[in-house]
Structure 1
Amino acid sequence: MERNKTVLFFLLKFFGTYLVLFLLYSFYLSSTQKKESYFACAPITKAVANQTNLLLNAFGVDSKIEQNSNEVSMNLFIDNNIVARVIEGCNAVSIIILFISFVVAFSAGFKSTFLYVLFGSALIYVVNVARIGIIAVAIYKLPQYEHWLHDYIFPAIIYGLTFLLWFVWIRKFSKLKNE
Protein backbone atom coordinates (compact mmCIF):
# COMPACT_ATOMS: atom_id res chain seq x y z
CA MET A 1 0.00 0.00 0.00
CA GLU A 2 2.87 2.37 0.81
CA ARG A 3 4.33 1.72 -2.66
CA ASN A 4 1.05 2.76 -4.28
CA LYS A 5 1.09 6.02 -2.32
CA THR A 6 4.64 6.69 -3.50
CA VAL A 7 3.69 6.11 -7.14
CA LEU A 8 0.54 8.20 -6.82
CA PHE A 9 2.44 11.03 -5.13
CA PHE A 10 5.08 10.92 -7.89
CA LEU A 11 2.39 11.10 -10.59
CA LEU A 12 0.59 13.97 -8.86
CA LYS A 13 3.80 15.97 -8.45
CA PHE A 14 4.95 15.24 -12.02
CA PHE A 15 1.66 16.03 -13.77
CA GLY A 16 0.87 18.92 -11.43
CA THR A 17 4.22 20.57 -12.09
CA TYR A 18 3.96 19.84 -15.81
CA LEU A 19 0.45 21.28 -16.04
CA VAL A 20 1.35 24.49 -14.17
CA LEU A 21 4.50 25.08 -16.24
CA PHE A 22 2.74 24.17 -19.50
CA LEU A 23 -0.09 26.61 -18.77
CA LEU A 24 2.35 29.39 -17.85
CA TYR A 25 4.34 28.76 -21.03
CA SER A 26 1.17 28.66 -23.15
CA PHE A 27 0.09 32.01 -21.68
CA TYR A 28 3.57 33.41 -22.37
CA LEU A 29 3.42 32.24 -25.99
CA SER A 30 -0.09 33.57 -26.57
CA SER A 31 0.90 36.98 -25.22
CA THR A 32 4.26 37.29 -27.04
CA GLN A 33 3.90 35.56 -30.43
CA LYS A 34 2.15 37.47 -33.19
CA LYS A 35 0.26 35.76 -36.03
CA GLU A 36 -2.21 38.31 -37.35
CA SER A 37 -1.11 41.30 -39.42
CA TYR A 38 2.53 40.25 -39.13
CA PHE A 39 4.49 37.35 -37.68
CA ALA A 40 6.76 37.61 -34.66
CA CYS A 41 8.36 34.91 -32.53
CA ALA A 42 8.27 34.83 -28.77
CA PRO A 43 11.33 36.48 -27.18
CA ILE A 44 12.77 33.14 -26.02
CA THR A 45 12.70 31.76 -29.59
CA LYS A 46 14.32 34.96 -30.88
CA ALA A 47 16.97 34.69 -28.15
CA VAL A 48 17.80 31.09 -29.12
CA ALA A 49 18.09 32.10 -32.79
CA ASN A 50 20.24 35.15 -31.90
CA GLN A 51 22.53 33.12 -29.65
CA THR A 52 22.89 30.41 -32.30
CA ASN A 53 23.84 33.11 -34.80
CA LEU A 54 26.40 34.58 -32.36
CA LEU A 55 27.86 31.13 -31.75
CA LEU A 56 28.17 30.42 -35.48
CA ASN A 57 29.78 33.82 -36.10
CA ALA A 58 32.20 33.22 -33.21
CA PHE A 59 33.36 30.08 -35.01
CA GLY A 60 33.82 31.96 -38.27
CA VAL A 61 30.61 30.85 -39.98
CA ASP A 62 29.00 33.57 -42.11
CA SER A 63 25.48 33.40 -40.68
CA LYS A 64 22.56 35.69 -40.05
CA ILE A 65 18.98 35.42 -38.84
CA GLU A 66 15.78 37.23 -39.66
CA GLN A 67 12.11 36.96 -38.76
CA ASN A 68 10.23 34.85 -41.30
CA SER A 69 7.53 37.03 -42.88
CA ASN A 70 5.21 34.08 -43.60
CA GLU A 71 5.20 32.22 -40.28
CA VAL A 72 6.21 32.37 -36.63
CA SER A 73 9.85 31.38 -37.09
CA MET A 74 13.31 32.83 -37.44
CA ASN A 75 15.18 32.04 -40.65
CA LEU A 76 18.81 31.03 -40.17
CA PHE A 77 21.13 31.67 -43.10
CA ILE A 78 24.66 30.46 -43.80
CA ASP A 79 26.44 32.20 -46.66
CA ASN A 80 23.11 33.84 -47.55
CA ASN A 81 21.44 30.42 -47.99
CA ILE A 82 18.55 29.57 -45.70
CA VAL A 83 19.47 26.37 -43.88
CA ALA A 84 16.99 26.28 -41.00
CA ARG A 85 13.91 27.78 -39.45
CA VAL A 86 14.05 28.23 -35.70
CA ILE A 87 10.50 27.68 -34.45
CA GLU A 88 8.96 27.59 -30.98
CA GLY A 89 9.70 23.87 -30.71
CA CYS A 90 13.42 24.55 -31.23
CA ASN A 91 13.86 26.70 -28.13
CA ALA A 92 13.98 23.71 -25.72
CA VAL A 93 11.42 25.18 -23.33
CA SER A 94 9.11 22.17 -23.69
CA ILE A 95 11.99 19.83 -22.89
CA ILE A 96 13.02 21.99 -19.93
CA ILE A 97 9.43 21.83 -18.63
CA LEU A 98 9.54 18.03 -18.89
CA PHE A 99 12.95 17.98 -17.18
CA ILE A 100 11.78 20.18 -14.31
CA SER A 101 8.59 18.16 -13.82
CA PHE A 102 10.56 14.95 -13.45
CA VAL A 103 13.10 16.44 -11.04
CA VAL A 104 10.35 17.98 -8.90
CA ALA A 105 8.48 14.65 -8.86
CA PHE A 106 11.61 13.03 -7.39
CA SER A 107 12.50 16.07 -5.32
CA ALA A 108 15.01 15.97 -2.53
CA GLY A 109 15.27 19.10 -0.37
CA PHE A 110 14.25 22.49 -1.73
CA LYS A 111 17.83 23.76 -2.14
CA SER A 112 19.22 20.75 -4.00
CA THR A 113 16.10 20.48 -6.19
CA PHE A 114 16.17 24.19 -7.00
CA LEU A 115 19.89 24.20 -7.81
CA TYR A 116 19.64 21.06 -9.96
CA VAL A 117 16.66 22.51 -11.85
CA LEU A 118 18.67 25.69 -12.51
CA PHE A 119 21.82 23.82 -13.52
CA GLY A 120 20.00 21.26 -15.66
CA SER A 121 17.79 23.83 -17.38
CA ALA A 122 20.79 26.04 -18.19
CA LEU A 123 22.74 23.05 -19.52
CA ILE A 124 19.83 21.91 -21.71
CA TYR A 125 19.46 25.46 -23.03
CA VAL A 126 23.16 25.86 -23.86
CA VAL A 127 23.44 22.42 -25.46
CA ASN A 128 20.31 23.21 -27.48
CA VAL A 129 21.83 26.42 -28.88
CA ALA A 130 24.99 24.50 -29.83
CA ARG A 131 22.83 21.71 -31.30
CA ILE A 132 20.98 24.15 -33.57
CA GLY A 133 24.28 25.67 -34.70
CA ILE A 134 25.77 22.26 -35.45
CA ILE A 135 22.68 21.07 -37.30
CA ALA A 136 22.64 24.25 -39.39
CA VAL A 137 26.26 23.76 -40.45
CA ALA A 138 25.71 20.04 -41.03
CA ILE A 139 22.66 20.69 -43.21
CA TYR A 140 24.57 23.38 -45.12
CA LYS A 141 27.47 21.02 -45.79
CA LEU A 142 25.50 17.76 -46.11
CA PRO A 143 22.00 18.70 -47.32
CA GLN A 144 21.30 15.12 -48.44
CA TYR A 145 21.27 14.07 -44.77
CA GLU A 146 18.92 16.80 -43.55
CA HIS A 147 16.12 14.36 -42.69
CA TRP A 148 18.39 12.08 -40.63
CA LEU A 149 20.17 14.96 -38.94
CA HIS A 150 17.02 16.89 -38.03
CA ASP A 151 14.68 14.02 -37.23
CA TYR A 152 16.96 11.47 -35.53
CA ILE A 153 20.51 12.51 -34.67
CA PHE A 154 19.89 15.91 -33.15
CA PRO A 155 16.75 15.02 -31.14
CA ALA A 156 18.80 12.14 -29.72
CA ILE A 157 21.30 14.69 -28.40
CA ILE A 158 18.78 16.83 -26.51
CA TYR A 159 16.66 13.93 -25.26
CA GLY A 160 19.76 11.92 -24.41
CA LEU A 161 21.09 14.81 -22.33
CA THR A 162 17.75 15.14 -20.55
CA PHE A 163 17.66 11.42 -19.80
CA LEU A 164 21.25 11.56 -18.53
CA LEU A 165 20.38 14.48 -16.22
CA TRP A 166 17.37 12.54 -14.89
CA PHE A 167 19.55 9.49 -14.30
CA VAL A 168 22.15 11.54 -12.39
CA TRP A 169 19.37 13.20 -10.37
CA ILE A 170 17.88 9.88 -9.28
CA ARG A 171 21.23 8.19 -8.57
CA LYS A 172 22.96 11.08 -6.79
CA PHE A 173 20.45 13.55 -5.37
CA SER A 174 16.85 12.40 -5.09
CA LYS A 175 15.28 10.70 -2.10
CA LEU A 176 15.38 7.42 -4.04
CA LYS A 177 19.19 7.27 -4.05
CA ASN A 178 19.15 5.33 -0.78
CA GLU A 179 16.25 3.03 -1.63
Structure 2
Amino acid sequence: MFDIKKPEFKFLILFIPLIIFWFFFYHYLYKIDEILGLQFDSLTEFSKLLSYQSNFILSIFNIKTSIEIHGDMVVTKILNYQFSHGVWIGEPCNGIKIFGLFTIFIISFKGEWSKKIWFIPLGVLCLHFLNILRISVLTYISAVNPFILDFNHNITFQLITYSAMLGLWYLWILKFSSLKVNEKKS
Protein backbone atom coordinates (compact mmCIF):
# COMPACT_ATOMS: atom_id res chain seq x y z
CA MET A 1 0.00 0.00 0.00
CA PHE A 2 2.59 2.58 1.09
CA ASP A 3 5.94 2.07 -0.57
CA ILE A 4 8.42 4.05 1.52
CA LYS A 5 10.91 3.96 -1.39
CA LYS A 6 8.63 5.98 -3.67
CA PRO A 7 9.93 9.51 -4.25
CA GLU A 8 6.71 11.17 -3.05
CA PHE A 9 6.93 9.43 0.32
CA LYS A 10 10.61 10.23 0.69
CA PHE A 11 9.72 13.84 -0.09
CA LEU A 12 6.95 13.93 2.54
CA ILE A 13 9.08 12.21 5.18
CA LEU A 14 11.67 14.97 4.85
CA PHE A 15 9.34 17.86 3.97
CA ILE A 16 6.88 17.58 6.89
CA PRO A 17 9.44 17.74 9.75
CA LEU A 18 11.41 20.48 7.97
CA ILE A 19 8.31 22.61 7.42
CA ILE A 20 7.25 22.16 11.06
CA PHE A 21 10.76 23.14 12.18
CA TRP A 22 10.80 26.14 9.81
CA PHE A 23 7.51 27.57 11.06
CA PHE A 24 8.56 27.00 14.68
CA PHE A 25 11.96 28.59 14.02
CA TYR A 26 10.38 31.41 11.97
CA HIS A 27 8.31 32.40 15.00
CA TYR A 28 11.55 33.00 16.94
CA LEU A 29 13.54 34.36 14.01
CA TYR A 30 12.44 37.90 14.81
CA LYS A 31 13.88 37.57 18.31
CA ILE A 32 17.19 36.02 17.24
CA ASP A 33 19.19 39.24 17.71
CA GLU A 34 17.88 39.57 21.25
CA ILE A 35 18.55 35.89 21.98
CA LEU A 36 22.12 36.20 20.65
CA GLY A 37 22.66 39.51 22.47
CA LEU A 38 23.32 41.48 19.30
CA GLN A 39 23.14 45.27 19.37
CA PHE A 40 21.20 45.66 16.13
CA ASP A 41 18.07 44.24 14.56
CA SER A 42 19.24 42.27 11.53
CA LEU A 43 15.71 41.69 10.20
CA THR A 44 14.91 45.41 10.31
CA GLU A 45 18.22 45.97 8.53
CA PHE A 46 17.16 43.45 5.89
CA SER A 47 13.84 45.29 5.48
CA LYS A 48 15.78 48.56 5.10
CA LEU A 49 17.96 46.98 2.43
CA LEU A 50 14.84 45.79 0.61
CA SER A 51 13.40 49.28 0.86
CA TYR A 52 16.57 50.88 -0.54
CA GLN A 53 16.60 48.41 -3.41
CA SER A 54 12.91 49.01 -4.19
CA ASN A 55 13.40 52.75 -4.06
CA PHE A 56 16.33 52.40 -6.46
CA ILE A 57 13.98 50.76 -8.99
CA LEU A 58 11.59 53.69 -8.61
CA SER A 59 14.45 56.17 -9.00
CA ILE A 60 15.18 54.69 -12.44
CA PHE A 61 11.79 56.12 -13.43
CA ASN A 62 12.69 59.46 -11.80
CA ILE A 63 10.32 58.86 -8.88
CA LYS A 64 11.51 60.41 -5.61
CA THR A 65 11.04 58.29 -2.50
CA SER A 66 11.76 58.32 1.20
CA ILE A 67 12.28 55.73 3.89
CA GLU A 68 10.96 55.97 7.45
CA ILE A 69 11.67 53.63 10.34
CA HIS A 70 8.93 52.92 12.89
CA GLY A 71 10.20 50.39 15.41
CA ASP A 72 10.79 47.16 13.52
CA MET A 73 8.81 48.33 10.48
CA VAL A 74 10.29 50.12 7.50
CA VAL A 75 8.08 52.42 5.42
CA THR A 76 8.94 53.32 1.86
CA LYS A 77 6.89 55.98 0.16
CA ILE A 78 6.82 58.28 -2.81
CA LEU A 79 7.35 61.97 -2.15
CA ASN A 80 5.14 64.73 -3.53
CA TYR A 81 1.91 62.72 -3.29
CA GLN A 82 -0.37 64.28 -0.73
CA PHE A 83 -2.11 61.12 0.47
CA SER A 84 0.70 58.59 0.06
CA HIS A 85 1.03 56.63 3.29
CA GLY A 86 3.63 54.36 1.72
CA VAL A 87 4.22 50.66 2.05
CA TRP A 88 5.23 49.03 5.32
CA ILE A 89 7.96 46.40 4.98
CA GLY A 90 8.32 43.87 7.75
CA GLU A 91 7.31 40.34 8.52
CA PRO A 92 6.21 38.55 6.27
CA CYS A 93 6.59 41.06 3.41
CA ASN A 94 10.38 40.92 3.50
CA GLY A 95 10.28 37.53 1.76
CA ILE A 96 12.09 35.49 4.40
CA LYS A 97 9.16 33.12 4.89
CA ILE A 98 9.02 32.22 1.19
CA PHE A 99 12.82 31.88 1.03
CA GLY A 100 12.60 29.23 3.74
CA LEU A 101 9.68 27.47 2.09
CA PHE A 102 11.48 27.36 -1.27
CA THR A 103 14.65 26.05 0.38
CA ILE A 104 12.70 23.28 2.12
CA PHE A 105 11.03 22.27 -1.16
CA ILE A 106 14.42 21.87 -2.85
CA ILE A 107 16.12 20.16 0.11
CA SER A 108 13.24 17.70 0.43
CA PHE A 109 13.08 16.78 -3.23
CA LYS A 110 15.31 14.21 -4.84
CA GLY A 111 18.53 15.54 -6.35
CA GLU A 112 22.26 15.87 -5.98
CA TRP A 113 23.53 18.15 -3.22
CA SER A 114 26.11 19.61 -5.60
CA LYS A 115 23.19 21.01 -7.63
CA LYS A 116 21.13 22.02 -4.59
CA ILE A 117 24.02 24.08 -3.20
CA TRP A 118 23.92 26.50 -6.15
CA PHE A 119 20.22 26.20 -7.07
CA ILE A 120 18.89 27.23 -3.64
CA PRO A 121 20.80 30.56 -3.44
CA LEU A 122 19.99 31.29 -7.08
CA GLY A 123 16.29 30.61 -6.46
CA VAL A 124 16.28 32.74 -3.30
CA LEU A 125 17.97 35.54 -5.25
CA CYS A 126 15.29 35.31 -7.98
CA LEU A 127 12.55 35.47 -5.33
CA HIS A 128 14.30 38.42 -3.69
CA PHE A 129 14.44 40.33 -7.00
CA LEU A 130 10.76 39.59 -7.53
CA ASN A 131 10.07 40.95 -4.04
CA ILE A 132 12.01 44.13 -4.85
CA LEU A 133 9.83 44.64 -7.92
CA ARG A 134 6.71 43.82 -5.90
CA ILE A 135 7.50 46.45 -3.27
CA SER A 136 8.37 49.01 -5.97
CA VAL A 137 5.02 48.48 -7.69
CA LEU A 138 3.09 48.47 -4.42
CA THR A 139 4.81 51.70 -3.36
CA TYR A 140 3.79 53.29 -6.64
CA ILE A 141 0.22 51.98 -6.30
CA SER A 142 0.00 53.32 -2.73
CA ALA A 143 0.71 56.81 -4.05
CA VAL A 144 -1.33 56.91 -7.25
CA ASN A 145 -4.31 54.65 -6.44
CA PRO A 146 -4.34 53.47 -2.81
CA PHE A 147 -7.81 51.93 -3.24
CA ILE A 148 -6.34 49.00 -5.18
CA LEU A 149 -3.35 48.51 -2.88
CA ASP A 150 -4.90 45.82 -0.66
CA PHE A 151 -6.12 43.77 -3.61
CA ASN A 152 -2.73 43.86 -5.29
CA HIS A 153 -0.87 43.18 -2.04
CA ASN A 154 -3.12 40.35 -0.85
CA ILE A 155 -4.13 38.71 -4.13
CA THR A 156 -2.16 39.73 -7.22
CA PHE A 157 1.33 39.57 -5.76
CA GLN A 158 0.59 36.53 -3.59
CA LEU A 159 -0.33 34.66 -6.77
CA ILE A 160 2.72 35.96 -8.63
CA THR A 161 5.17 35.23 -5.80
CA TYR A 162 3.93 31.73 -4.98
CA SER A 163 3.65 30.91 -8.70
CA ALA A 164 7.28 31.97 -9.14
CA MET A 165 8.33 29.79 -6.20
CA LEU A 166 6.41 26.80 -7.56
CA GLY A 167 7.83 27.53 -11.03
CA LEU A 168 11.36 27.38 -9.64
CA TRP A 169 10.51 24.11 -7.90
CA TYR A 170 9.08 22.76 -11.17
CA LEU A 171 12.28 23.81 -12.95
CA TRP A 172 14.23 21.91 -10.30
CA ILE A 173 12.11 18.80 -10.82
CA LEU A 174 12.39 18.86 -14.63
CA LYS A 175 16.01 19.94 -15.11
CA PHE A 176 18.06 19.31 -11.99
CA SER A 177 16.52 16.63 -9.77
CA SER A 178 17.53 13.02 -10.21
CA LEU A 179 13.86 12.07 -10.60
CA LYS A 180 13.04 10.89 -14.08
CA VAL A 181 9.75 12.51 -15.09
CA ASN A 182 7.58 10.72 -17.68
CA GLU A 183 10.04 7.88 -17.96
CA LYS A 184 8.49 4.81 -19.58
CA LYS A 185 8.70 1.62 -17.58
CA SER A 186 9.65 -1.50 -19.50
Same fold (TM over 0.5): yes
Superposed displacement of residue 26, structure 1:
4.3
Pairing of 1:1-179 with structure 2 (within 5 A):
3-6=3-6, 7-22=8-23, 25-32=26-33, 42-69=44-71, 72-79=72-79, 81-178=84-181, 179=183
Superposed displacement of residue 19, structure 1:
4.3
Deviations 1:160-179 (A, max 9, x none): 11011011111111122345
Deviates more, 1:3-12 or 1:20-29: 20-29
Deviates more, 1:9-18 or 1:157-166: 9-18
Question: For the residues of structure 2 that align with 1:23 and 1:44, how far apart are their CA atoms?
Answer: 21
RMSD between superposed Cα atoms in Å: 2.3
Superposed displacement of residue 61, structure 1:
1.1
- Relative to the length of structure 2, the TM-score reads 0.80
Superposed displacement of residue 158, structure 1:
0.8
Question: For the residues of structure 1 that align with 2:105 and 2:44, how far apart are their CA atoms?
Answer: 25
Superposed displacement of residue 20, structure 1:
4.7
Larger Rg: 2
**Aligned residue-pair number:** 171
Deviates more, 1:19-28 or 1:100-109: 19-28
Residues 86, 143 of structure 2: 8 Å contact kept: yes
Deviations 1:80-125 (A, max 9, x none): 5322111221111100111111111113111111111011011001
| Distance of aligned partners of 1:79 and 1:23 in 2 relative to their CA distance in 1, 3 Å threshold | same
Superposed displacement of residue 2, structure 1:
7.0
Superposed displacement of residue 59, structure 1:
2.7
Superposed displacement of residue 54, structure 1:
2.4
| Distance of aligned partners of 1:104 and 1:52 in 2 relative to their CA distance in 1, 3 Å threshold | same
Question: For the residues of structure 2 that align with 1:129 and 1:157, how far apart are their CA atoms?
Answer: 13
Q: Which amino acid is 2:159 matched to? A: A
Superposed displacement of residue 135, structure 1:
1.4
Deviations 1:115-141 (A, max 9, x none): 110110110011101111011112322
**Percent of aligned positions that are identical:** 25
- Relative to the length of structure 1, the TM-score reads 0.83
Q: Which amino acid is 1:55 matched to? A: I
